[in-house]
Amino acid sequence: MEALILYFVLFFPGIYAASSPDWLVQGAEAIRTVPFSIIRELGRTLTYTLPAMALLLYIISEKKDLSALKAATPQKRDLLPFAAGLPGLIIIGLFVSLLVSLFSGLVSPARVQGPSGFFAWSVMIFACLGTGYLEETYFRYYLLTKLEKIIPYLPLRIAFSTVLFALCHMHEGPWGVLNAALAGVFLSVLFIRYRSLHGIAFAHAGYNIFVYAIGNLV
């Protein structure tokens, strides 16, 4: 129950992040480019991501079965899941992009515009790190560990975590949900294999940075 309450408090509002998602708009031309905004990204990070992360860490710190996070800092062992995670997420993203090009009859996702200038890049990287750590701390480190006591069958635990992860990306449209679902399964397997929060969090952040960087090239 605690895990679901946290989900609805921290992530479910993201479903309504866009008042009129492109893929729900009928008879209107979809927005093709989402411009990068320093104010928006910095505001979201300071007023949502960091407070949400603080709440999540506070709750985790009270749990004996999740106490490892309190003493855990990035180690050399985190390099392997990061080295596997980042290329894997990029491959998944490119695969979804290939599907988008093949199914041209469906509304394609909006292109994310990258930042311009040192300060804008700094804000973007800061925001991506915050998002990567928040989502990986909840969906992989916290939720998968909590589910071990409730769901003995591992594939069901991965499926449950992945469904929740994909749902909070509904504002990105069906392609965003598909990308999140594939990435969720992949990151869950990596976490279960290596038990490394930092490795997958940095891989997640690195992929988000990659998406912004590509936005300046295409």
What does the pLDDT profile of the chain (218 residues) look like in tens digits? Answer: 788 888 988 887 555 444 344 444 444 444 567 788 999 999 999 999 999 999 998 888 876 666 555 546 778 889 999 999 999 999 999 999 999 888 766 666 777 888 989 999 999 999 999 999 999 999 999 999 889 888 999 999 999 999 999 998 888 888 899 999 999 999 999 999 999 999 999 999 999 999 999 877 76
112 occurs within a structural domain: yes
64 occurs within a structural domain: no
Where in the sequence is the domain holding 197, given as residue range(s)? Answer: 79-218
| Residue in the structure block whose two tokens are 């392609």 | 175
31 occurs within a structural domain: no
Length of the chain: 218
142 occurs within a structural domain: yes
* CA of residue 75 relative to chain centroid, distance: 22
Q: What is the pLDDT of residue 16?
A: 45
49 occurs within a structural domain: no
151 occurs within a structural domain: yes
pTM: 0.88
CA 89 – CA 79 distance, rounded (Å): 15
Q: What is the pLDDT of residue 58?
A: 86
19 occurs within a structural domain: no
Number of domains in the chain: 1
Contact at 8 Å (CB) between 6 and 138? Answer: yes
